[in-house]
Amino acid sequence: MQEQALSGVKVLDLTWHIAGPYCTKLLADYGADVIKVERPGKGDPTRAMGPFFKDDPNPEKSGLFLHLNTNKKGTTLNLKSATGKKILKQLAAESDILVESFRPHVMPGLGLDYQSLEKVNPRLVMVSISNFGQTGPYRDFKSSEIVEYAMGGEMYSTGIAGREPLKLGGNVIQYQAGTVAAVATMGALYSAEDEGTGQHVDVSIMETQIGSADRRIMYILSYIMAGVITTRWPPPREAIRMLIMPQGVYPCKDGFVNTLSLPQWWPRYIEALGMPELKDDPRFQNIYSAEAGMEFDAIWYSWLADHTKEELFEIFLKSKIASAPINSTEDLLKYTQLKAREYFAEVEHPETGKVTYPGAPFKMSETPWKISRPAPLLGQHNEEIYCKLLGYTAEELIKLREGGII
Amino acid sequence: MAKLPLEGVRIVALPVVFAGPFATMLLADLGAEVILVESVHHFPTITRGYMPRPPQFLVPTTGATFGGSGGIQTYVNHWAGDRPWDRFVMFHALGRNKVSCCIDLTRPQGIEVFERLVKVSDVFFESNAADTMEKLNLTYDVLKEVNPSIIYLSMPGLGCTGPHKYCSIFGAQLQALAGHTWLTRYPDLDYTTTQSLIFHSDAASGATAAFAILCALRYRKRTGKGQFIDLSQLESVVPHIGEAIMDYTMNGRVQQPLGNRHPSMAPHGVYRCLGDDGWVVISVSSEEEWQGLCKALGNPPWAKEERFSTPLDRLKNQDEMDKYIEEWTCRHDNYEVMYILQKEGIAAGPVLDQSNAFHDAQLASRGFFEEVSHREAGTHLYPGMLWKMDKTPISIRKPPPCLGEHNDYVFKEVLGMSDNEIAELEKDKLIGGDEYLVESIF
């Protein structure tokens, strides 16, 4: 079996929802051994969130859960019981990394804070992912995707002038937080493997957004350095133009395209439109003219209306214009570039059969990304982990089950 | 002081625009020595400005400039100065903890110096269009001859192979391709009202690239082997809408944009508050939270109406319900709503403009902003670390570098070049320099 980048790294995963599980999915898909610990009975709340396979709301058929938990082994454990805590410490002693995403008071409340776990395993890297961080006046506040985007991200300037601020689609903020947490985790692991000492990493989802390059970090610094407040803007049709070339989203024959232009690209537009006469057209000699922009729009709109988004993309690629179609998930699944790169992965799961999943976020030449097993059924690996790894007997396992511990 | 996690790791980088600079910033924050190789002969658009010396009419004086770009084109105090490339705010946002030297990569003697640098480095990182390294003849095949254990990461928009590999697009287009833009709009308006300047894609692929380097570094530490990493920015952001992808692959359903709403939670949305452009977001995920909301609002009669009695009813009738909620939020400012609702255990928070975020109590309490003094920009508080580490505390150790600020350090200390050798190369402007020799990008 080919070695993976994170082969041999042992991760104890107490996370739920999206941010934490995406962090540990990244680790697992690149080779770490991840043991996911869920609540007995209900498990990770994403098991109850859609979309469900064939719309059957079965906890083993949540597409969100299946996507986020590939390559992990699944156990159940009641952390509120004394035995549960003891078992968790045994697992922590065997692990390089523990990732948890409870609210900050939970782990200390269970007697499972870093100080306690460090005693069991001084090399342990413990990563705590929370809404607002382990300290501060908001530390116990509740949050959600929309709250994180409002407070941490650039929701204020997302949307259009005169309308309410707009959330980004889906749960992308949580995914971003998980990705940043994976960077933090790997940084601490690198240190721990080097120096032999673990540490506690405190990831605040709010800070992962404030500090991310989605514009917020830059807009805040623009405010600090130049007093600029960036607000929501008029749509391209009504906005004050800097250039005669298009900026924004425009309709075409069968959908929409998103275009950005730089001043030096005017010749590329002339080429793409196949209208060499525009070069000498007296209307378009000053590319910074907003009025000429209106004139050009008329040409641009009618040209776009004659082409499909797929045709347009081929033309844009050839002329090096930064424009791309607004794809639906269906378009994305059919996209030739992704097919040519064999991006999507087929994953076999006992409850759903074979389903297509998003693939590798990057390709490594020596140590590949791969899905060796689908997301675990609830408690699927209890016996393997508790008996084979920790040495509990079959009878003890039954007792744990009867006691509601697992 | 404890050794930083990546102390001793040297990264040679040619990052442009957002995603690459963000990735290398995260690695520099962890202690890596990130050396930006820049050039006085080549101006990197939208990295150190839109042009080397913008005419004053292109230096925005307020956020209300240039059809939506606002904060993107800002210079410190709206003044480009003698060295605009050192005063461009976007570079400041992502430049911390890095060093800068200048080498002309278009001439063989420049390449020679560059290869010496690669020889004493652990990682080569670049985020240019896929043909850039080919044109410079600095592909992985070439650099691994120079340094067999080099980790080499390329992150062009659509990856290093495939029919569209030479595509040259930005984050806004990538997230359009990736299906993100499809899911982000007002349900009552079409996509032409979608703001094109949302760059989740850059944030996502930048963080993913930093993770990729860390994976490769860990493998290299164990085995001594370097490798090539082919990161398609598109492929790195597609998993961020995994559930929408799965809905299509499992059910054939193309998910449609919901605006500020949620498939199962209600109330869920943004509500107007007191004050100019003041807004609060609220999301209610359980019956218990709904009861908490009713209590916070003073148990108004409308909340007891049958059409709002179950989660399904509330989901179905949320237009009417939202009007009632907004009547209440309108009487408070957005922070006030947050405190009132959080006390009842409800997820609620203000939509923070940049000033609110800068002054926010939580960030202040955690010391998020750090003071930085910069030669050309003066002293300011900068957004700080994205996470905290208790044994190896990370921080802003160095201000964003001025162009070529570390020429001496890189050529003398890192490469051990003699003063004569440096003078010889500097004469022909093969290395060194701290201002652009190109006036315009046209």
Residues B329 and B379 in one domain: no
Residues of B in contact with A240 (CB under 8 A): 65-67
- Of the listed ranges A96-100, A229-233, B90-94, B142-146, the least confidently predicted one is A229-233
Give the span between the Cα atoms of A320 and B168, in whole angstroms: 6
**Chain B: closest CA distance from residue A387 (Å):** 30
Look at residues B232, B336, B201, B321 and name the one whose alpha carbon lies nearest to residue B268: B321
Give exposure, A74-112, as e/b (b: 16+ Cβ within 10 Å). Answer: bbbbbbebebbbebbbbbbebbbbbbbbbbbebbeeeeb
Structure tokens of B405?
A: 């600020």
* Residue position matching structure tokens 């675990």: A376
Given this model, what pLDDT does residue B51 score? Answer: 86
Selection from B93, B94, B89 nearest residue B60 by Cα: B89
Query: In what helix (H) or strand (E) does residue A301 lie, and over which residues does it extend?
Result: helix A290-305
What's the alpha-carbon Rg for chain A, to the nearest Å? 26
- Cβ-defined contact of A202 to B390 (cutoff 8 Å): yes
A263 Cβ contact list (under 8 Å, min separation 6): A243, A287, A288, B50, B51, B441, B442
CB B377 within 8 A of CB B402: no
Residue with tokens 């990546």: B6
CA-CA distance, A269 to A271, in Å (whole number)?
Answer: 5
- Residue B61: per-residue pLDDT: 62
Q: Do B39 and B158 have their domain in common? A: yes
pLDDT number for residue B413: 98
Tell me whether strands B268-272 and A322-325 are parallel, antiparallel or unpaired.
unpaired
Nearest partner of B172 among B75, B128, B237, judged by Cα: B237
Q: Would you give the distance in Å from CA A285 to the centre of its chain?
A: 44
Residue B415 belongs to domain with CATH number: 3.40.50.10540
Residue B416 lies in a domain: yes
Q: Compute the average pLDDT of residues B403-412.
A: 98
Q: Distance between CA atoms of B268 and B285, rounded to whole angstroms?
A: 9
> Where are the domain boundaries for CATH 3.30.1540.10 in chain A?
248-326
B325 with B405, same domain? no
Which residue has 């000429």 as its token pair? A292
Closest by Cα among A310, A307, A255 to B182: A255
What is the DSSP pairing of strand B123-126 with strand B10-14? Answer: parallel
In percent, how much of chain B has pLDDT > 70? 96
Q: How many CA atoms lie within 13 A of A169 on its CB side?
A: 27
What is the C-alpha to C-alpha distance for residues B268 and B266, in angstroms, rounded to an integer? 5
Q: Which residues from A are below 8 Å from B196, CB to CB?
A: 236, 247-249, 258-260
Nearest chain A alpha carbon to B30: A187
Query: Which of A179-188, B60-69, B174-183 has the weakest average pLDDT?
Result: B60-69
Tokens of A270: 């002339």
pLDDT at B66: 46
Q: Which of residues 345-374 of B touch A (CB under 8 A)?
A: 345-355, 357-358, 360-363, 365-366, 368
Shared domain check, B225 and B100: yes
Cβ neighbour number for residue B417 with a 10 Å cutoff: 19
**Rounded distance, CA A321 to CA B417, Å?**
42
Task: Give me the phi and psi of B309, to 5 degrees please.
Answer: -80, -30
Share of chain A above pLDDT 90, in %: 86
Say yes or no: B322 and B287 in one domain: yes
Choosing from B333, B358, B383, the residue where a domain stops is B358
Which tens digits make up the pLDDT trace of A130-141? 999 999 999 999
- CA distance, residue B144 to nearest chain A CA (Å): 13
Is B164 within the bounds of a domain? Answer: yes
Residue B397 and residue B332 share a domain: no
Angle at B397 between CA B392 and CA B400, to 5 degrees: 140
So what's the pLDDT on residue B187? 93
What are the pLDDT digits (tens) for B77-128? 988 999 999 999 999 999 999 999 999 999 999 999 999 999 999 999 999 9
Q: DSSP of B125-189, one letter per residue?
A: EE-S-TTHHHHHT--HHHHHHH-TT-EEEE--TT-SSSTTTT----HHHHHHHTTTGGG-S-TTS
Question: In angstroms, what CA-CA distances link A366 with A89, A362, B121, B149, B382?
Answer: 35, 12, 19, 12, 38
In whole angstroms, what is the distance from residue A148 CA to residue B186 CA? Answer: 19
pLDDT tens figures, A18-75: 999 999 999 999 999 999 999 999 999 999 998 999 999 999 999 999 999 999 999 9
**Of B305, B335, B358, which residue is a domain's last?**
B358
Q: Please report residues of B whose CB lies closer than 8 A to that of A154.
A: 198
Q: What is the mean pLDDT of chain A?
A: 95
Q: Is the pLDDT of residue B442 over 60?
A: no
Give which of A253, A293, A310, A302 is closest to A273, Cα–Cα.
Answer: A302
For residue A249, give the H/E element and its range: strand A248-252
Residue B373 sits in the same domain as residue B341: no
Q: Does B234 touch chain A (CB under 8 A)?
A: yes
Q: How far is CA A53 from its chain centroid? A: 21
Q: Looking at chain A, which residues constitute the CATH 3.40.50.10540 domain(s)?
A: 10-214+341-402
B90 touches chain A (CB under 8 A): yes
Q: Are B335 and B396 in the same domain?
A: no
Do B304 and B192 have their domain in common? no
How many angstroms separate the CA atoms of B224 and B329, rounded? 60
> Considering the domain boundaries, does residue B106 fall inside one?
yes
B361 CB neighbour count, 10 Å cutoff: 11
Alpha-carbon separation of residue A43 from A48, A64, B130, B236 (angstroms): 9, 14, 44, 28
* Cα B341 from Cα B273, distance rounded (Å): 14
Return the residue of A nearest to B26 by Cα: A183
Quote the pLDDT of residue B199.
Answer: 80
Pair (B210, B171) in one structural domain: yes
Instruction: Write down the CATH superfamily of domain A248-326.
Output: formyl-coa transferase, domain 3 (3.30.1540.10)
Cβ atoms of A63 and B250 within 8 Å: the answer is yes
| pLDDT tens-digit map of B222-271 | 999 999 999 999 999 999 999 999 999 999 999 999 999 999 999 999 99
- For the domain bounded by A10-214+341-402, which CATH number is listed? 3.40.50.10540
B247 within domain boundaries:
no
Q: Please tell me which residue of chain B has the smallest CA distance to A182.
A: B211
What pLDDT sits at residue A229?
87
First to last CA, chain A: 32
Residue B342 has pLDDT above 70, yes or no: yes
More confident call, B198 vs A337: A337
Residue B29 CB partners (closer than 8 Å, separation 6+) = B96, B97, B385, B386, B394
Asked if residue B374 and residue B345 are part of one domain, the reply reads: no
B230 — phi, psi (to 5°)? -105, 100
Choosing from B358, B389, B414, the residue where a domain stops is B358
Q: Please name every residue paired with A278 in a beta bridge, in sequence order, or none if there are none.
A: none
Asked if A185 and A201 count as a contact pair (C-beta separation under 8 A), the reply is yes
Q: Looking at the predicted structure, is the pLDDT value of residue B34 above 90?
A: yes
> Which residues have C-beta within 8 Å of that of residue B382, sequence separation ≥ 6?
A221, A224, B92, B93, B96, B369, B370, B371, B372, B396
Query: Model confidence over B180-202: pLDDT tens digits?
Result: 999 999 999 998 877 666 789 99
* B291: in domain: yes
Residue of A67, A154, A262 with shortest CB distance to B242: A67
Bridge partner list, A195: none
- Which CATH number do you get for residue B279? 3.30.1540.10
Pairwise CB contact (< 8 Å): A142 & B346: yes
Strands A363-364 and A322-325, by their bridges, are: unpaired
Among A184-193, A239-248, A271-280, B122-131, which is the least confidently predicted range?
A239-248
Q: Which domain, by its residues, includes B23?
A: 10-231+367-427
Considering only CB atoms, A214 lies closest to which of B72, B199, B221, namely B199
Residue A341 has pLDDT above 70, yes or no: yes
Q: How far is B290 from chain A (nearest CA, A)?
A: 14
Distance, C-alpha B295 to centroid of its chain: 40
Give me the number of domains chain B comprises.
2
Q: Quick check: B70 pLDDT over 60?
A: no
Over residues B331-350, mean pLDDT: 98
Rg of chain B on CA atoms, in Å:
25
Backbone angles phi and psi of B256, in degrees to 5:
-110, 155
Residue B218 lies in a domain: yes
Report cis status (omega within 30 of 0) of the bond before B267: yes
pLDDT for position B60 = 66
Q: How far is CA B87 from CA A259, A369, B19, B91, in A?
A: 27, 41, 20, 8
| Burial per residue of B400-410, b for 16 or more beta-carbon CB atoms within 10 angstroms, e otherwise | bbbbbbbbeeb
Model pLDDT, residue B68:
44
CB A353 within 8 A of CB A340: no
In this prediction, residue B301 has a pLDDT band, given cuts at 50, 70 and 90, of: very high
Looking at chain A, which residue has its C-alpha nearest residue B175?
A326
One-letter amino acid for residue B437 of the chain = L
Q: Say yes or no: B395 contacts chain A, CB-CB below 8 A.
A: no
Q: Please tell me whether residues B151 and B72 are part of one structural domain.
A: yes
Nearest chain A residue (CA) to B93: A218
**Of A179, A262, A65, nearest to B215 (Cα)?**
A179
Q: Fill in the DSSP letter of residue B367.
A: T
In contact, B250 and A355? CB cutoff 8 Å: yes
User: Which 3-state string (H, E, C) describes A29-58?
Assistant: HCCCEEEEEECCCCCCHHHHCCCEHHHCCC
Q: Are B275 and B266 in contact (CB under 8 A)?
A: no
Q: What does the mean pLDDT of chain B come to?
A: 94
In chain B, what is the greatest distance between 2 CA atoms, to the nearest angstrom?
A: 87
